[in-house]
Amino acid sequence: MTEPPLLALRGISKRFGAVQALKDVELEVHRGEVVALLGDNGAGKSTLVRIIAGVVTADQGVIEWEGQAVQIRTPRAARHLGIATVYQNLALCDGLDVAENLYLGREQRRPGALGRLLRLMDKGGMRREARRQLDAMGIRVPDMRTPVASLSAGQRQTVAISRALLGDPKAVLLDEPTASLGVQQAGHVLDLVDELREHGVGVILISHNMGDVKALADRAAVLRLGCNNGFFHVPTTPQDRIISSIIGVTSSP
Ligand SMILES: Nc1ncnc2c1ncn2[C@@H]1O[C@H](COP(=O)(O)OP(=O)(O)OP(=O)(O)O)[C@@H](O)[C@H]1O
Ligand SMILES: [Mg+2]
């Protein structure tokens, strides 16, 4: 028997008032696979990611995780399954420093009664642990005590990505992770995606950069006006065929 997909979406629909953002959308991601989720502005890509991440609830459809139908009602539920998300509009807290942002929502308490009773944060421990994990992943972040408000867009992006990877996820959703990055930093993020794949992580990568898609993705799923508009085996498909599907010159049968 073949292994079920890590993540499968079956017939997902979502409406926002008069806008049908998604209609009957199908998507599968396997372990160790990078799936590019493509489509023009407003095609529904971020909405789909937000549904998988538990930020938005679908009106219809089923999400399967490791072959089982699951309900993902909250971001915490998604994280608990092993789904990590880097959102298009970065959700970092300006007032907090790098380490605090990395551990936002899963703060570590001081050991013993100080942590248990007084709920004191183990800031030193979080900083050390964050540094250790980021080093292990080859991610360079400036001083852990730097407030993120003072970081560049690219550095903030790196922190957001690091944050998503800290929990050792099984699936990673990246919504335009290189959009605000310079060439070198973008290259670094792409290397990270490659590493995730090698470690058996399933990746959904949203990108408008066809070069990135060609370099990284195993498959591409195209959305157009909220509907599936084709699936492609990226290494063997000419780029212009994928682009035609994105802009609507061709449609899936
Ligand atoms: N919270 C919301 N309320 C109302 N409409 C929404 C909401 N979120 C998304 N939409 C609408 O749903 C459609 C799909 O939006 P979505 O953000 O998923 O597109 P996208 O493919 O990510 O586009 P882009 O490439 O510009 O990021 C758009 O028409 C958008 O206006
Ligand atoms: Mg989007």
CATH of the domain at 217: 3.40.50.300
Residue with CA at minimum distance from ligand 1 atom 17: 46
102 and 131 together in one domain:
yes
125 and 63 together in one domain:
no
135 and 236 together in one domain:
no
Distance 14 CA to ligand 1 centre (A): 11
Domain count, the chain: 2
Mutation test residue for ligand 1: of 9, 13, 15, 19, the one with most atoms within 8 Å of CB: 19
At which of 152, 179, 204 does a domain end? Answer: 152
Residue 123 confidence (pLDDT):
79
- Whether 2 maps to a domain, the answer reads no
Q: Are 145 and 130 in contact (CB under 8 A)?
A: no
Distance 21 CA to ligand 2 centre (A): 11
Residue 110: pLDDT over 90: no
Contact residues for 133 (Cβ-Cβ < 8 A; gap 6+): 162, 165, 166
Q: How confident is the model at residue 138 (pLDDT cuts 50, 70, 90)?
A: low
Q: Are 94 and 149 in contact (CB under 8 A)?
A: yes
- Whether 138 maps to a domain, the answer reads yes
- Whether 218 maps to a domain, the answer reads yes
- Whether 15 maps to a domain, the answer reads yes
At which of 122, 152, 182 does a domain end? Answer: 152
Contact residues for 37 (Cβ-Cβ < 8 A; gap 6+): 27, 45, 48, 49, 204, 205, 206, 220, 221, 223
104 and 225 together in one domain:
no
Q: Which one of the ligands is nearest to 226 CA? A: 1
Residue 91 confidence (pLDDT):
65
102 and 138 together in one domain:
yes
Residue 117 confidence (pLDDT):
65
Distance CA 232, CA 218 (A): 9
Distance CA 219, CA 91 (A): 28
Distance 97 CA to ligand 1 centre (A): 30
100 and 71 together in one domain:
no
Residue 253: pLDDT over 60: no
β partners of residue 85: 173
Q: Which residue has the higher pLDDT, 131 or 252?
A: 131
Across the range 49-58, mean pLDDT stands at 96
The boundaries of the domain holding residue 46 are: 7-82+169-247
Ligand 1 atom closest to residue 226's alpha carbon, by position in its atom list? 14
* Span 60-103, pLDDT tens digits: 999 999 999 999 999 999 999 999 998 876 667 777 777 877 77
Residue with CA at minimum distance from ligand 1 atom 3: 16
- Whether 87 maps to a domain, the answer reads no
Looking at the chain, the whole-number percentage of residues with pLDDT higher than 90 is: 55
- Whether 162 maps to a domain, the answer reads no
Q: Which residues surround ligand 2, an ion (CB under 5 A)?
A: 45-46, 88
Residues with CB under 6 A from ligand 1: 16, 19, 21, 39, 41-47, 88
Q: Which one of the ligands is nearest to 38 CA? A: 1
Residue 251: pLDDT over 60: no
77 and 176 together in one domain:
yes
177 and 241 together in one domain:
yes
Q: Which residue has the higher pLDDT, 250 or 169?
A: 169
- Whether 164 maps to a domain, the answer reads no
65 and 98 together in one domain:
no
12 and 61 together in one domain:
yes
Residue 217 confidence (pLDDT):
97
Distance 26 CA to ligand 2 centre (A): 18
96 and 219 together in one domain:
no
Q: Which residue has the higher pLDDT, 179 or 172?
A: 172
Q: Which residue has the higher pLDDT, 108 or 183?
A: 183
Residue 26: pLDDT over 70: yes
Distance CA 228, CA 23 (A): 8
- Whether 1 maps to a domain, the answer reads no
Q: Which one of the ligands is nearest to 43 CA? A: 1
75 and 113 together in one domain:
no
Residue 160 confidence (pLDDT):
80
Q: How confident is the model at residue 137 (pLDDT cuts 50, 70, 90)?
A: low
Q: How confident is the model at residue 116 (pLDDT cuts 50, 70, 90)?
A: low
